[in-house]
Amino acid sequence: MSKTSNAVVRGLCAFATASLLSLGAAIQVQAAEFITIATGGTSGVYYPLGVALSQVYTKAIPSAKTSVQATKGSVENLNLLQAGRAELGFSLGDSLSDAWKGEADAGFKAPLKKLRTMAAVYPNYVQIVALADSGIKTLADLKGKRIAVGAPKSGTELNARAIFKAAGLGYGDFSKVEYLPFGESVELMKNRQLDATLQSAGLGVASLRDLASSQKIVVVPIPADVVAKVGDAAYQPGVIPPNTYEGQTAEVHTARIQNYLVTREDLSADVVYQMTKAMFTHLPDLVAAHAAAKAITLENAAKNPPAPLHAGAARYYREAGVLK
């Protein structure tokens, strides 16, 4: 074979190798940029914020193809992430801690070690709302009543178990327990088939606003001593401000639990960096979707993650000066 022929062959081989490497990289990038966001029920806070975040990513990461999935909430979201069926999900801090440790009673058969924290976002408030004519004013008054506690083994239902146990109550103390998403619980209350609902959500959740607009309600306080008896640092005393819901004219003491956005270890650091940066650059878009997002701050985003921070998120926080 002539020198010219050898050169041509070498050139073709080099071109083919470069093309294959380029194609492989393109496929890898394309796979990383499908962003499915696991949220919660459509009448909660996770869902509208997930939709807003999806819209932010569509604008800020043009190559990303985003979608939003309505789910039963924290526990399902974390299991979806571990299984590689979502790239980002909302979760309560206690659920994320349980997932990382593999608490079977909380819905995690084994430790979910693929999980990585992207950001601490806003706090959930455990909101126990009763019909005003039910006679329920305190936790003790719930005995013998009909109550909804959230979807089975959702973050809300795990919160319900913890709070009732701390208050010396169990599901057996109620005449009826329904395991339902927020919207369905409210519909049963409107139809007088339930006396109360427990919803762990951001302040001003749509389901409870809907209920308060059509029924007279009472927001049942959870005293600080009951919150302390939960024995979990994720549970902190909180206050529902006056007029959060129609007819609720005084502040109500309750339990507060931090929410997190969670991703997967195997997502590229570059993509998670872009996702984190885009969220904080476009926070007003999230606030426009739901007022709970007013509580999202860059200063708190990297504090005390129940699962390790993703390398891409940590890179953004170091760049922003909130992580050393």
Q: What is the 3-state secondary structure (H, E, C) of the chain?
A: CCHHHHHHHHHHHHHHHHHHHHHHHHHHHHHHCEEEEECCCCCCCHHHHHHHHHHHHHHHCCCCEEEEECCCCHHHHHHHHHCCCCCEEEEEHHHHHHHHHCCHHHCCCCCCCCEEEEEEEEEEEEEEEEEHHHCCCCCHHHCCCEEECCCCCCHHHHHHHHHHHHCCCCHHHCCEEECCCHHHHHHHHHCCCCCEEEEEECCCCHHHHHHHHHCCEEEECCCHHHHHHCCCCCEEEEEECCCCCCCCCCCEEEEEEEEEEEEECCCCHHHHHHHHHHHHHCHHHHHHHCHHHHHCCHHHCCCCCCCCECHHHHHHHHHHCCCC
Give the tens place of pLDDT for each residue, 270-279.
999 999 999 9
Q: What is the mean pLDDT of residues 55-79?
A: 94
Which of 47-51, 62-66, 166-170, 284-288 has the least mean pLDDT? 62-66
Read off the tokens for 38: 């696991």
Adjacent-strand bridge partners of 91:
260
Q: What is the mean pLDDT of residues 59-69?
A: 93
33 and 107 belong to one structural domain: yes
pLDDT beyond 60 at 227: yes
199 and 83 belong to one structural domain: no
Question: Per the structure, how many domains does the chain have?
Answer: 2
pLDDT band at residue 145 under the 50/70/90 scheme? very high
Q: What residue numbers bound the domain in which 157 lies?
A: 124-257
pLDDT band at residue 193 under the 50/70/90 scheme? very high
Q: Give percent of the chain above pLDDT 90.
A: 86
Q: Give percent of the chain above pLDDT 70.
A: 90
Which among 247, 226, 248, 245 is positioned nearest to 237, based on CA atoms? 226
**CATH number of the domain where residue 109 is located:** 3.40.190.10
111 and 128 belong to one structural domain: no
* pLDDT for the residue 43: 87
Q: What is the mean pLDDT of residues 208-230?
A: 97
Query: What does the mean pLDDT of the chain come to?
Result: 91
- Please check whether residue 13 lies inside any domain of the structure: no
* pLDDT for the residue 10: 54
Q: Which long-range contacts (CB under 8 A, 24 or more apart) does 56-62 make?
A: 56/278, 56/279, 56/282, 56/285, 56/286, 57/275, 57/278, 59/282, 60/274, 60/277, 60/278, 60/281, 60/282, 61/33, 61/35, 61/271, 61/274, 61/275, 61/278
* pLDDT for the residue 12: 45
Give the tens place of pLDDT for each residue, 12-22.
444 444 443 44
- Please check whether residue 11 lies inside any domain of the structure: no
Domain boundary among 228, 257, 286: 257
- Please check whether residue 1 lies inside any domain of the structure: no
* pLDDT for the residue 32: 43
Burial zone of 27 (CB within 10 Å; 0-12 exposed, 13-18 middle, 19+ buried): exposed
Is the backbone of residue 84 left (phi > 0), alpha (psi -120 to 50) or beta? left
278 and 290 belong to one structural domain: yes
pLDDT beyond 50 at 89: yes
- Please check whether residue 4 lies inside any domain of the structure: no
Task: With beta carbons less than 8 A apart as the criterion, state whether 231 and 162 touch.
Answer: no
* pLDDT for the residue 25: 37
* pLDDT for the residue 18: 42
Q: What is the mean pLDDT of residues 69-88?
A: 96
CA distance 53 to 72: 19
* pLDDT for the residue 26: 38
Task: With beta carbons less than 8 A apart as the criterion, state whether 134 and 143 touch.
Answer: no
57 and 99 belong to one structural domain: yes
129 and 216 belong to one structural domain: yes
Q: What is the mean pLDDT of residues 196-204?
A: 96
Most confident of 21-25, 104-108, 237-241: 237-241
Number of other CB atoms surrounding residue 314 within 10 Å: 21
Q: What is the mean pLDDT of residues 117-122?
A: 98
Domain boundary among 209, 224, 257: 257
314 and 241 belong to one structural domain: no
Q: What is the mean pLDDT of residues 78-95?
A: 97
168 and 289 belong to one structural domain: no
Give the tens place of pLDDT for each residue, 230-267.
999 999 999 999 999 999 999 999 999 999 999 999 99
